[in-house]
Amino acid sequence: GSGIERALMIGSMLMVLSAELLNSAIEAVIERYGAEHHELAGRAKDMGSAAVFVLMMNVLLCWGLVLAPRWT
């Protein structure tokens, strides 16, 4: 494939890893300030997880659009 296709495929995975690191940082900060449940803490964790999920969907989309034409 072209360099652009490879960059999209690898870059999309690196974005997931970056979001996962940021999500772990958010969770570490929340745990640092106390384990008791707080609505905003829960929302922050949920949003971090949602960001990782959205980027995982982006990986599937990028890989699918790059690889699908090769199978048809």
Q: Which residues are catalytic?
A: 20
Distance CA 70, CA 63 (A): 11
Residue entry with tokens 């449940």 = 37
Task: Tell me how far apart the alpha carbons of residues 61 and 53 are, in angstroms, rounded to a whole number.
Answer: 12
